Structure 1
Amino acid sequence: MSGLCGYLNTVRDERGPRFLRRMAASMARFDSSPIHALTDGPAGVAVAACADGFSMHSRDGVLAAVWGRAALEGDTRQVAMRLTELWMVRGPMACADLSGPFAVCIVDGASGQVMLAVDRSGIHSMHYQSLPQCLLFGSSAAALRQHPDAHDELDRQALYHYLYFHMIPAPLTVYRGQQRLLPGEFLLYRRGRLERGSYWKMAYSERRELPFAVLKHQFLATLEHAVRQAAEGDGKVGAFLSGGTDSSTLAGMLGKITGQPASTYSIGFDVDGYDEMRYARIAARHFGTDHHEFYVTADDVMEAVPRLAAVSDQPFGNASAIPAYYCASMARADGVTRLLGGDGGDELFGGNERYARQAVFSRYEQLPSCLRQVLIEPLLFGLAGKLDLAPLRKARSYVEQALMPMPARLETYNLLRRYGAARVLHEDFLADVDTSAALDQLNARYSETHGLSQINRMQAIDLLYTLADNDLRKVRHACELAGVDAVFPFLNDDMLAFSSRLSPNAKLNGTRLRYFFKRALADHLPRPILRKKKHGFGLPFGHWLQSHAGLRELAFDSLNDLKRRRIVRAEFIDTLTRTLVREHPAYHGTMVWVLMMLEQWLCQHATRRASGFPADAAEIAADLAPKA
């Protein structure tokens, strides 16, 4: 847990070591991890982590630090030293030899060079800012903000992306001038010049695959190896257990590897349609786990909201962070220090419902153009266009969505697009943003996968947006706040490689999700779990908005406070809280949550000025100034 930070000054600055201590302390504020620092002339690096979670090295003015459970050629010893030696020969491509979750830095003060990188899945983050007299970097934005020279102005384009995606996707961050690395990416800094590149990318193979029996054997062996690696080390290990295929698979495998009942932890809701505890209990009984349960209430949500806003580097709108936090807290109270999470299984093996839905839309594209353009579309939108019959409405909706190009079709139900940006956003705020940038960014990422099957193109997008910038951030923030480390066996490097070799049909067979995955685990998982539909840790927030006065007051007061920031139109907030959320609590409640978390985050992080744009670093500088 915790993180890595550092700097390289291009001019002499004796304050560097003191600033470094301040930066590192901010990373350990939730778990009190010990801080380890190296300084040499113009450079300094620091790591806040326990003994088995980092590696550092210093020689001849070169400082190196590796944060995370990383290995080099399978060896976890002296990783930083050996990576430095490889870097001297191969430059940033040396990172390709690293495995596991990591954030790394190598700083050469004499040559004015810095290399930064993060792991293949983006489990760890890396932020950086290039300033006229120094380069600042850290695995959290909070670390950079402790330096008085760091930019502290909010980026309105990033805030727009938050309202669009409900998180801020890399490379943007919420602060202007600060950026983040993408999964598998490096940054090379050479005397003021920045170069970004990839040392690794998912290389999908769509050739005819090996026989099922061979693939199954490889998969189970890879899975067992990944869980074994995740469970290694000191401390008690447990597993999230939602009752889905991924968490159930890991819980069973953990018990098999350790030879004793796995400690599993589940969250429930006493609300119809949201509680999945039945499936978690099925898995727990099937694998004989030492099972623990906690039912989250609206009062629990009220207590957790400000805490999650505090632990988040940026505005973050995934409400599932609440149950993840209480699940991790329950595990920590039971003595667990490391939790296995099933994140990544959907994105590697074809588990997201939208994969099947988009496959249905793609069938329309495969019809002969003459049939579509001469018969179907003129009939539906011409002759029958004015008939308001349910079957025709459904057919028109299907064709309209099928005619949209990918990946725009994925955003059909995007809340901001549905409301309309002009209706939601204040005109002053809207004047400073490019409303097409979010979709342009999606298009750019999607175009990088040209030539692949639709399922692999969607999974490549999801590895960035759904996984690295959303689900992994959710689980890691929740676990950090609870004082537990999170590990993700499905994101083991060997598992990534195995997934890349699966054929598209093995991931999505017609509209059957996880086709290979479920066949391979048919003897491992209970039948009800193999057959259940995906649910996840959905929070019944919309329901509680109607039934719990305290939570409603917290949410609506936050939205009223947000009005003064001139980001969201006051009249939209009024319509949302007085009309829309009453008409459809679950649907419009999502936007209430997103706006509430924005205001909660701004209150705790953004600025010392009421408007939210920009902040003043004078307070930090005064605090660090030499005392008389």
Structure 2
Amino acid sequence: MCGFAGFWGYSGFLAVNAQETATRMGNAILHRGPDNAGIWCDDAVQIALVHRRLSILDLSPAGHQPMVSHAGRYVISFNGEIYNHMALRQELECRLISQHGWNGHSDTETLLAGFDAWGIEKTLNHAVGMFALAVWDRKTRELTLARDRLGEKPLYYGWQGQGSQKAFLFGSELSSLRCHPSFRAAINRDALALFMRHSCVGGVNSIYSGIHKLAPGHLLTLSTASSEPVLKEWWSAAKVAERGVTQPFQGSAEEAVSSLEILLRNAIGQQMVADVPLGAFLSGGIDSSTVVALMQIEAARPVKTFSIGFYEADYNEAVHAKAVALHLGTDHTELYVTPEKALSAIPYLPTLYSEPFADSSQIPTFLVSQLAKKYVTVSLSGDAGDELFCGYTRYQMTSNWWSKLSRLPRHLRQLIGVIVTAIPPTVFNQMSAFLRMARAGEKLHKGAALLSNQSVTDLYRGMVSHWSDSKNVVLGSNEPSSLSTDSLPRLDRLSDVEYMMLLDMLSYLPDDILTKVDRAAMGVSLETRVPFLDHRVVEFAWSIPIQYKLRQGVTKWPLRQILYRHVPQALIDRPKMGFGVPIDKWLRGPLREWAESLLSETRLRNEGFFQPDLIRRKWNEHLSGRRNWQDDLWNTLMFQAWLEHNRRN
């Protein structure tokens, strides 16, 4: 795990500035790689690669980057891990390496040998891992950027500057790109509207005009022949899902469970290889408990596990994590966080994320990363279990709602919506226990506004949105098309539930979940690994019939069966609890003064990004207790805090 950046200024950026500029770009991501730094430049074509290293495999200088291939053709700056790289070495040795041997045992050197032997795309298809990389081909004078299959590692790119200062910039974080003299920090208002809806800047957009994210499973090639980068999809999650559904696993449910456990154990075993201390996040839920249980089988000693606890009972999973840890015999460390400790993390959030990010579980994620870093350099997590095995209750809820609502005429649904919204949310909130729904009032009001939707897909997209009128609240914006809005083609063979799962895997997972974990962990120089995103596990998971994943109303049935083999069922079966914090209460209490300063009407009008009246109305309703607008307000506050930080720096 590392970070990298670079630029290609072949329109005339002065070569004399290359080393100095590259150094600044690398220093901006020191947290991603505090162990070592490297720069490679070619003045003849005015290209520079910079690398910051967090040493995980081959701690010796033989793992130093940027690295040149044995044949001298390719130069790479690489962030991530290739878990099967030793197996790839065995394939390569008889073809390429026997004539000169290996310099070390890093996966970077293995990748380069693969490029020399097979080319870049074929090597990536052979690789099992998470990565983002930049490769310069000295023979063809082509720059290639690549991102892993599911989007675990970030990669930004784009043209900036004009005339002789025009340069193509790329890197792991926007903070590096900001250090280049050609960079122009122009806020993309359309992307801001997307952020206000989904709490993150999704898809290939970035918060800055002219800068994009490389989509998961894609390659980008830029050559001297054309200034326009060529994009190519080298692995498709949508095609994997469609193939899995059309060619399902033919065995019994029990056989599917056994096959899945074998795949997971293999993936976890490969991801436990490191030359530094390694552990795991443990929430006590199904996903992280499954990962830790299988890790403990593979380990020769107790696995180091880490949990964060909160004194507010509604947000505390630490007691469950401790029970699982005791049963498995892990070396468990937990930290109970006071509200003051959690609140103290908030000023750091704008520095952690390259662009505005507002999933409030970023706070406990950062705190558990801080805790783990005291003991280990690598931590495995249970992320992606929900998206692959139908874990979110919203899948069933949306499907069930639509099966009933779709039978009613649209005008009748609209009338029901009017009736529901006429009742104050506080009335429904008082009935939350009876309705078996937390924040019942807000959810029912939100659902009522969606009753006129014409498809289950539209209903789901509305369910996972915050500011439904985001283009109205962001002045001068036109919300762009994205996977979370309307650009995913309908795959007829997928059921409604499977379609929602795929939509989340393509958007919510990389844009929110993986972004949250990567930036929070790398902010403290901690590498995270996600065994469920081994692409072989993903491909098999999609072949498991939906009736096995969601069995008699029980979510994640295959994972539960694996876990029950190692942990008593009584320790696991309980209502799902989100990894969150009580933002709603904090905004009315200890965060009120901070929030008021960021949301003042004068400030909002002077900055000119938001419609102040809409924001102030929600802020006042929240303070009064009439409504709980924590998600909408948190999105606004995280942009405001990010904007303030970046204007100071």
Structure 2: which 5+ residue stretches go unaligned? Answer: 58-62, 90-106, 429-434, 436-440
Secondary structure of the residue that 2:315 maps to in structure 1? Answer: coil
Q: Partners in 2 of 1:264 and 1:331 — Cα distance?
A: 8
User: Would you say 1:434 and 2:478 are equivalent positions?
Assistant: yes
Q: 1:48 and 2:52 equivalent?
A: yes
CA deviation profile, 1:591-616 (whole Å, cap 9, x unmatched)? 222222111111122577xxxxxxxx
- Structure 1-normalised TM-score? 0.85
The reply to whether residue 323 of structure 1 matches residue 395 of structure 2 is no
Residue identity opposite 1:299 in structure 2: E
Q: Which runs of structure 2 are paired with 1:53-132 in the superposition (5 Å)?
A: 56-58=67-69, 60=72, 62-70=74-82, 71-72=84-85, 74-75=88-89, 76=107, 78-86=109-117, 88=119, 92-108=121-137, 111-131=140-160
Deviation string 1:367-402 (CA, Å, 9 cap, x unpaired) is 6xxxx55xxx787778999899999x9899689648
Q: 1:424 aligns with which of 464, 470, 473?
A: 473
Deviation at residue 149 of structure 1 after TM alignment: 1.1
Q: 2:460 aligns with which of 406, 410, 421?
A: 410
Question: Which deviates further from its counterpart, 144-153 or 510-519?
Answer: 510-519
For the pair 1:570 / 2:570, whether they are aligned, the reply is no
Cα distance change on mapping 1:301 and 1:591 into 2, 3 Å: farther
The answer on whether the counterparts of 1:20 and 1:45 sit within 8 Å (CA) in structure 2 is yes
**1:381 and 1:396 in contact (8 A); partners too:** no
Name 1:582's counterpart in structure 2: 624
TM-score (norm 2): 0.82
SS at 1:235's partner residue?
Answer: coil
Residue identity opposite 1:170 in structure 2: G
Q: Give the aligned partner of residue 614 of structure 1.
A: none
**Aligned match for 2:399, one of 332, 336, 359:** 359
**What SS does structure 1 have at the residue aligned with 2:564?**
coil
Q: Is 1:296 aligned to 2:345, yes or no?
A: no
Q: Does the 8 Å contact 1:365/1:402 carry over to 2? A: no
1:489-542, Cα deviation, whole Å (9 max, x unpaired) = 111222122212211222223543112222333222331344222213111111
Please list, as runs of the form range in 1=range in 2, the aligned pairs for 1:271-420 lying within 5 A after superposition: 271-333=312-374, 335-364=375-404, 372-373=408-409, 401=451, 403-413=453-463, 416-418=466-468, 420=469
Q: Is the 8 A contact 1:449 1:460 kept in 2?
A: no
Question: Is 1:251 paired with 2:262?
Answer: no
d(CA) in 1 for partners of 2:205, 2:646? 17
Q: Structure 1 counterpart of 2:220, which letter?
A: L
The secondary structure found in structure 1 opposite 2:620 is helix
Counterpart secondary structure, 1:407: helix
- Structure 2 Cα separation of the partners of residues 101 and 66 of structure 1: 10
2-structure distance, mates of 1:494, 1:208: 15
The one of 159, 173, 176 equivalent to 1:140 is 173
* SS of corresponding position for 1:101: strand
Residue 98 of structure 2 aligns with which residue? none
Q: For 2:140, what is the secondary structure of its paired residue?
A: coil
The correspondence for 1:16, drawn from 15, 18, 41, is 18
Give the secondary-structure state (helix, strand or coil) at the position aligned to 1:228. helix
Residue 534 of structure 1 aligns with which residue?
576
Q: CA deviation at 1:312?
A: 0.8
Asked whether the 8 Å contact 2:79–2:132 carries over to 1, the reply is: yes
Deviation larger for 128-137 or 490-499: 128-137
Do the aligned partners of 1:316 and 1:597 also contact (CA within 8 Å) in 2? yes
Indicate if the aligned counterparts of 2:418 and 2:448 stay in contact, CA closer than 8 A.
Answer: no
Is contact 1:359–1:510 with CA below 8 Å preserved after alignment?
A: no
- RMSD of equivalent CA atoms: 3.1
Residues 92 and 226 from structure 1, CA distance in 2 versus in 1: closer, same or farther, beyond 3 angstroms?
Answer: closer
Matches within 5 A, 1:167-316: 167-191=200-224, 192-202=227-237, 203-204=240-241, 205-206=244-245, 207-209=247-249, 210-316=251-357
Q: Identify the residue that residue 152 of structure 1 maps to in structure 2.
A: 185
Q: How far apart are the structure 1 equivalents of 2:416 and 2:381?
A: 53
C-alpha distance 272-214 of structure 1, shift in aligned 2 (>3 A):
closer
User: CA 1:416 to 1:256, structure 2 compared with 1: closer, same or farther past 3 Å?
Assistant: closer
Letter paired with 2:317: E
**Aligned equivalents of 1:172 and 1:345: distance in 2?**
26
Query: Per-residue CA shift, 1:196-223, capped at 9, x if unaligned?
Result: 1210012121234222343222211111
Return the letter of the residue paired with 2:484: L
**One-letter identity of the residue aligned with 2:575:** K
Given that 2:198 and 2:465 are in contact with CA atoms closer than 8 Å, whether structure 1 keeps it comes out as no
The range that moved more, 69-78 or 523-532, is: 69-78
Separation in 2 of the partners of 1:478 and 1:396?
Answer: 30
What is the CA–CA distance in structure 1 between the aligned matches of 2:338 and 2:159, rounded to whole Å?
A: 44
Q: Measure how far apart 1:568 and its partner are.
A: 2.1
Distance 2:257 2:345 in 1: 42
Moved more, 467-476 or 230-239: 230-239
- Counterparts of 1:536 and 1:378, CA distance in 2: 35
Give the Cα separation in 1 of the matches to 2:259 and 2:169: 43
Secondary structure at the aligned position of 1:313 is classed as coil
Residue 534 of structure 1 aligns to a residue whose secondary structure is coil
Structure 1's 381 and 299: CA in aligned 2 closer, same or farther, altered over 3 A?
Answer: closer
Tell me which of 566, 569, 592 is aligned to 1:552. Answer: 592
Paired with 2:301 and 2:262, the residues of 1 have a C-alpha distance of 20
Question: Mean Cα displacement is larger for which, 135-144 or 171-180?
Answer: 135-144
Q: Identical aligned pairs, as a percentage?
A: 23
Partner of 2:535: 493
Query: Compared with structure 1, are the counterparts of its residues 564 and 499 closer, same or farther at alpha carbon in structure 2 (3 Å cutoff)?
Result: same
Match of 1:471 in 2: 513
Aligned equivalents of 1:224 and 1:18: distance in 2? Answer: 46
AA in 2 matched with 1:137: F
Give the structure 1 partner of residue 501 of structure 2: 459
Secondary structure of the structure 1 residue equivalent to 2:229: strand
Letter in 1 for 2:515: R
Q: Following TM superposition, by how much is the alpha carbon of 1:150 offset from its aligned partner in structure 2, in angstroms?
A: 2.2
The one-letter amino acid paired with 2:228 is R
Contact 1:364 1:402 in 2 (8 A): no
* Cα distance in structure 2, aligned partners of 1:417 and 1:283: 38
Partner of 1:26: 28
| Cα distance in 2, alignment partners of residues 448 and 28 from structure 1 | 43
Tell me by how many angstroms 1:324 deviates: 1.2
Please state how far the C-alpha of 1:362 moved relative to its aligned partner: 4.4
Q: 2:198 aligns with which of 165, 178, 195?
A: 165
In 2: Cα distance, 1:327 partner to 1:402 partner: 42
Question: What is the distance in 1 between the residues matched to 2:448 and 2:554?
Answer: 20
CA distance in 2, matches of 1:604, 1:395: 35
Tell me, in whole angstroms, the C-alpha distance in 1 between the residues paired with 2:417 and 2:372.
58
Q: Which AA in structure 2 matches 1:65? A: S
> Tell me, what secondary structure is at the counterpart of 2:157?
strand
